[in-house]
Structure 1
Amino acid sequence: MSVKRSNSKHLRDYPGYSGNFTHAADHDAMEKPYRRNWEPPADYQQSMDLSGNWGRGIMFHQKYEPPSQTESDECKSDGNPKTFKRVLIRFAERTSMQGIPYIHTSKTWYAKLAWTVLLLGAMVAMGIHLYTLCSTYFLFDRQTQIKLGFQNLKFPTITFCNVNPVKSSMASRGSNELKNFLRTVRPDAVASSLKKQMPRAIQRPSQPGNSAPSPPPGRRKRFVDSIEYNFTNIRRPELVPNDDKPRPNFFSGQRSTLQEIRKEFTHLYSLEERETRIAMGHSISDMLVSCAFSGVVCNDSYFRIHPSPVYGNCYTLENNDFVSFRSGPENGLELILFLETDEYISTIASGIGAQFLIHGTNTWPDPEVDGISVSATMETNIGMRMLEIHRLGGLYGDCDDGAAFKARYGIEYTRKSCQTFCVHERIIKRCGCYDELKETLYENINSSVSGMKVHPCRSREETTCLLQIESRWETGLLQCNCFNPCHETLYEKTTHTRMWPSDAYASMLVQYLCNIKNETECERFEKMAPRELIRNFMKINIYFEDLNFENITETPAYEDVQFYSDIGGTVGLWVGLSVLSLAEVVQFLWEVTQYLLCWRRWKKKKPEQTEDRPNWDKQMRALQSATRLPSTYTGNGLY
């Protein structure tokens, strides 16, 4: 009995047909598709479904196995379920990593063992090498590079003060307490009181053979100890209570009387109104005789006042147009000052001259601490060399770019200014008052914080609080987060002096002053003796010694690029890995992870698969009974 060809469909219309027939012509194969010598298509195993229709089904000649739900579609590759062994074999066959392919392809066990030992040893050596590299990199060490630059240099800011804070002719504007104190500490008053208290003259030391006894050892009484004055300044160290870290015993000894006189004057001077203090001091119009930068004249309008509790009126010269195109004294700043020495209060101003400070543009000046003393009757040359410092921040160290500080206070950041503002803000918050000696500083802080209005610390409780905070700062108990600036410009200074002016040049300067002063002052100048007149003048030249400047830059000792290069060299040296090989390792790890996830899913669903087997048996029997195939077909095991 032969199988008849269906009139409705051809074999090529069925899924899975590959056109592979043997020992038959094309037309014969189409007419007799179920002959014995017919070969099933390659994907015939999935050519019929359970209903008997051609499509995706199961192969009936194989032993029945129910569909497995151990792995989902994403757990399959090439149509077959994955196993862990297959994942390993696939990685070994495809990887470019050295050693692993030889372990897979070796035929003998000792060859596999040798390559395994070599691979493990290389990986251990690679791990040690990488640990050394990472330890070095994460230390974040720095190295310093010094370079020399050459360019036109911007001139720094200059602040100077006359060492005499109050003119004797203007002292009458002060309070009665200040005037009384100035009369008490006058050298002639001190000398007269000292003369009245002078004991009998002490004999000269006895000559050899003289049996007169020598005076008993002891401290001789100094002339300043004879001053009888009730000091009103209560800022004394004995007011500071004992804290966890007291000062050494040396600092609790007797205080210097000269220092006490100076502090008493500063206290009384700070009690005056700001306008009164400015009027009592030396004005820039009275002191400035000549000002020139690179030969171009500048006048007193270029200066702005900066009051100081120690030196009175200080003046700051800052101009962005001051740029040095050449080095040398002729291309710098030249100042000639008339110090008005006849207005000096000798006890307060023990010397004759001025205090000069060279600092960065728009930085906070502190001439009392950072200034240098320049003597009268001298021409002083101050040669500068600029030094730029660039520091690393972040992981390489602590530095402050100064942006927040400048936005708050309107001045450039320096470590010292940060500490000064920090301590004074702590005094304001803790004590509810500000230091009367830092009035200018308080005004700057007050302008940055709206609504902050406090009074000076003058009561005993407020002064005690103030001194306690300053003591805690000096002993290290109070900390401020003030780091070095990330970018800093410093000026190294070299000073040279010579006698100046000559008598003839001093007379010429007097005539110059007479042209700008009134007749009364001119007559006063002309009555001065030549040596007394010379003591009133001083000249200072500030300039760059050279336009070359040093640039000190911190750089990482171990650059990022070098670190990555060393890692690549280490990995390539020991196991022959490249970036693409690392991608292969990542893919292998992903496949292992995927296998483990599928294995866990299979462990959870395994009991459910066992319960579903009877249902699959019923479906198979129904499928066999429903299938109608020719009884004469004896093909190659399809049915």
Structure 2
Amino acid sequence: EWPQAFPAVTICNYSPLRYDRFISPFLNYTNARNITNTTNTTIFTTAQAAYIQEFLLYKLNQNESLNDYFYSLESMMMSCNYNNMPCTTTNFTWFISPLYGLCYTFNALLKSTGQSGIKYNADNGANGLLELSIYVHQNQYVPYLSNGIGMVALVHDNVQMPIIELTAMLLSSGKHHKLGYAKKTSLFLPAPYTPCNDKANLGMQAMFDQYHDADYGYAQFPCYFACIQAYTYKKCGCGNPYRWNNRLVVLPNTDTPINIQLCDFDNSCYGAAGIEIMNTESIWTTFCPDCTLECSYSEFNIQSTSVLAPPAYMRDGIKQFVESSQVPLPEDWNTSYVSEIQSSFVSLEVAYETTRTEVYSQQPTMAPVDVISNVGGQTGLWIGISFLSLMELAEMIYRLIRSQCHRLWTRT
């Protein structure tokens, strides 16, 4: 396939929260609930960490923005190049993941630009290469929240909503990673051959609005998320607290999105509702009748390799970026910056491995013309009737009727 659209690439910091932005509001929350009684922002315990998700859920249910607690792309991205041309933060759209915080997507189909905004492998006379240099600021990771340091990345179709929590690749810091992709497309026949779907319903469209200008299309998993959340709200009066981007739901036989509250984590209703809808056919057909396979679907097989990074000659440039990023530095930065850079630097290269696209396409085994031919052939074989015989029979009937009519006219 050439020219081939370069896929969308979504990246997130592996640990979502910036300690310097998060700790004071968090202590205000825990102190107000008599969980803690401290203003010390330098000590953070495992007991406090148990209330992080509860704090974030409280903020969401108050319709307060969480963006300030997460890492902005400006504070992390040192450089971006696509096909030897610089790219900036304006080339990314964003969304919030309950696991990774703010995530950023390059080359998604956007409502504001349409197909003209999609980048292709052949742009600028090159071969489709995205190069990113990221600094994850591991010194600002909230203790006990994450069990690693680095980035997460997902290569996906330009019109596909990134389900980063399920399918992301983990990229460790201190390395240059190369993700080589090969495209695979599956095409299914529409009705009446299969029950496949390619139209996003109102519930999915309401969910896609949380992805800020992205123009995503129908996919089966997001359809599940939307309809299960709608049923959970119908049954429990609140939604699954792990579905942050499903706070707008559309109930069956309605067309108005409802802004819902998310359930408390200790509320067992949302879990029971999820089990009930997936195991009760009548409920499933009411809330999820459209959630069938996609009529067309593209995925990318990834080959991942990596080498140590950064080389020594890059350290001064990285040091300057970190010092100008407005993210607090470690107290011993002047003496430990070499090891800090090694712990927080991630380099990513996304490139195609082949221009070939593997296509799985359904073809009808019997077209309408084949049906007519087979009916005629089988009829002729088993009862001795052919199309010509039918025409002769029709002619004979016509002649008999004409003869009778002629006799009647002659008598009168």
1:499 maps to which of 296, 304, 308: 308
Decide whether the 8 Å contact of 1:376 with 1:537 is kept in 2: yes
1:433 maps to which of 220, 235, 238: 238
The count of corresponding residues between Structure 1 and Structure 2 is: 371
Structure-2 residue corresponding to 1:87? none
Structure-1 residue corresponding to 2:121? 324
1 or 2, which has the higher strand percentage?
2
1:580 maps to which of 370, 385, 388: 388
Q: 1:325 to 1:444 in 2, by over 3 A?
A: farther
Structure-2 residue corresponding to 1:271? 58
1:469-508 mapped onto 2 (5 Å cutoff): 469-473=273-277, 479=284, 480-481=288-289, 482-508=291-317
2:24 maps to which of 145, 167, 172: 172
Q: 1:312 to 1:286 in 2, by over 3 A?
A: same
Q: Which letter does structure 2 place at the counterpart of 1:307?
A: I
Cα distance in 1, alignment partners of residues 198 and 76 from structure 2: 38
1:321 offset after TM fit, Å?
A: 3.3
Cα distance in 2, alignment partners of residues 276 and 541 from structure 1: 32
- 1:464 maps to 2:290: no
- 1:554 maps to 2:362: yes
Cα distance in 1, alignment partners of residues 9 and 388 from structure 2: 62
- 1:153 maps to 2:4: yes
Structure-1 residue corresponding to 2:101? 312
Cα distance in 2, alignment partners of residues 387 and 363 from structure 1: 14
Structure-2 residue corresponding to 1:79? none
Cα distance in 2, alignment partners of residues 323 and 547 from structure 1: 12
Segments of 5+ residues of structure 2 without an aligned counterpart are 109-116, 209-215, 404-412
Q: 1:584 to 1:281 in 2, by over 3 A?
A: same
Cα distance in 2, alignment partners of residues 353 and 568 from structure 1: 67
Q: Which letter does structure 1 place at the counterpart of 2:270?
A: L
Structure-2 residue corresponding to 1:98? none
- 1:163 maps to 2:163: no
Cα distance in 2, alignment partners of residues 453 and 520 from structure 1: 36
After superposition, the C-alpha distances for 1:280-312 in whole angstroms (9 at most, x for unaligned) are 111111001111111111111222331122222
1:592 offset after TM fit, Å?
A: 8.6
Structure-2 residue corresponding to 1:90? none
Q: 1:397 to 1:436 in 2, by over 3 A?
A: same
Q: Which letter does structure 2 place at the counterpart of 1:538?
A: V
1:455 maps to which of 232, 253, 261: 261
1:423 maps to which of 203, 206, 228: 228
1:382 offset after TM fit, Å?
A: 0.8
Decide whether the 8 Å contact of 2:248 with 2:257 is kept in 1: no
RMSD of aligned alpha carbons: 3.8
1:534 offset after TM fit, Å?
A: 1.2
1:332 offset after TM fit, Å?
A: 1.5
Cα distance in 2, alignment partners of residues 265 and 306 from structure 1: 20
TM-score normalised per structure 1 = 0.51
1:548 offset after TM fit, Å?
A: 1.4
Cα distance in 1, alignment partners of residues 151 and 16 from structure 2: 11
Larger C-alpha radius of gyration, 1 or 2?
1
Decide whether the 8 Å contact of 2:12 with 2:153 is kept in 1: yes
After superposition, the C-alpha distances for 1:48-104 in whole angstroms (9 at most, x for unaligned) are xxxxxxxxxxxxxxxxxxxxxxxxxxxxxxxxxxxxxxxxxxxxxxxxxxxxxxxxx
Cα distance in 1, alignment partners of residues 185 and 196 from structure 2: 15
Segments of 5+ residues of structure 1 without an aligned counterpart are 1-149, 191-226, 232-260, 596-639
1:316 offset after TM fit, Å?
A: 2.1
Q: 1:345 to 1:285 in 2, by over 3 A?
A: same
After superposition, the C-alpha distances for 1:215-271 in whole angstroms (9 at most, x for unaligned) are xxxxxxxxxxxx7x5x9xxxxxxxxxxxxxxxxxxxxxxxxxxxxx77x53233222
Structure-1 residue corresponding to 2:163? 366
After superposition, the C-alpha distances for 1:171-211 in whole angstroms (9 at most, x for unaligned) are 21225455868x9xx9x977xxxxxxxxxxxxxxxxxxxxx
Cα distance in 1, alignment partners of residues 327 and 152 from structure 2: 30
Cα distance in 2, alignment partners of residues 331 and 361 from structure 1: 14
1:364 offset after TM fit, Å?
A: 2.5
Decide whether the 8 Å contact of 2:132 with 2:349 is kept in 1: yes
Q: Which letter does structure 2 place at the counterpart of 1:381?
A: K
Decide whether the 8 Å contact of 1:423 with 1:473 is kept in 2: yes
Structure-2 residue corresponding to 1:350? 147
Cα distance in 1, alignment partners of residues 346 and 125 from structure 2: 19
1:564-603 mapped onto 2 (5 Å cutoff): 564-570=372-378, 578-588=386-396
Cα distance in 2, alignment partners of residues 329 and 396 from structure 1: 41
Q: 1:445 to 1:272 in 2, by over 3 A?
A: same
Cα distance in 2, alignment partners of residues 362 and 444 from structure 1: 21
Decide whether the 8 Å contact of 1:295 with 1:330 is kept in 2: no
- 1:385 maps to 2:190: no
Structure-2 residue corresponding to 1:38? none
Decide whether the 8 Å contact of 2:75 with 2:327 is kept in 1: no
1:172-211 mapped onto 2 (5 Å cutoff): 172-177=24-29
Which shifted more, 585-594 or 345-354? 585-594
Cα distance in 2, alignment partners of residues 189 and 175 from structure 1: 10
1:372 offset after TM fit, Å?
A: 1.5
Cα distance in 1, alignment partners of residues 237 and 138 from structure 2: 41
2:217 maps to which of 397, 412, 417: 412
- 1:539 maps to 2:326: no
Decide whether the 8 Å contact of 2:248 with 2:259 is kept in 1: no
Decide whether the 8 Å contact of 2:241 with 2:265 is kept in 1: no
Decide whether the 8 Å contact of 1:328 with 1:544 is kept in 2: no
What is the DSSP-based 3-state SS (H/G/I as helix, E as strand, rest coil) of the residue aligned with 1:434?
Answer: coil
Q: 1:465 to 1:587 in 2, by over 3 A?
A: farther
Q: Which letter does structure 1 place at the counterpart of 2:16?
A: P
Q: 1:476 to 1:159 in 2, by over 3 A?
A: farther
1:507 offset after TM fit, Å?
A: 3.0
1:71-220 mapped onto 2 (5 Å cutoff): 150-170=1-21, 171-177=23-29
Structure-1 residue corresponding to 2:211? none
What is the DSSP-based 3-state SS (H/G/I as helix, E as strand, rest coil) of the residue aligned with 1:430?
Answer: helix
Cα distance in 1, alignment partners of residues 360 and 159 from structure 2: 22
Q: 1:592 to 1:441 in 2, by over 3 A?
A: farther
1:525 offset after TM fit, Å?
A: 5.1
Decide whether the 8 Å contact of 2:79 with 2:133 is kept in 1: yes
Of all paired residues, the percent bearing the same amino acid is 20
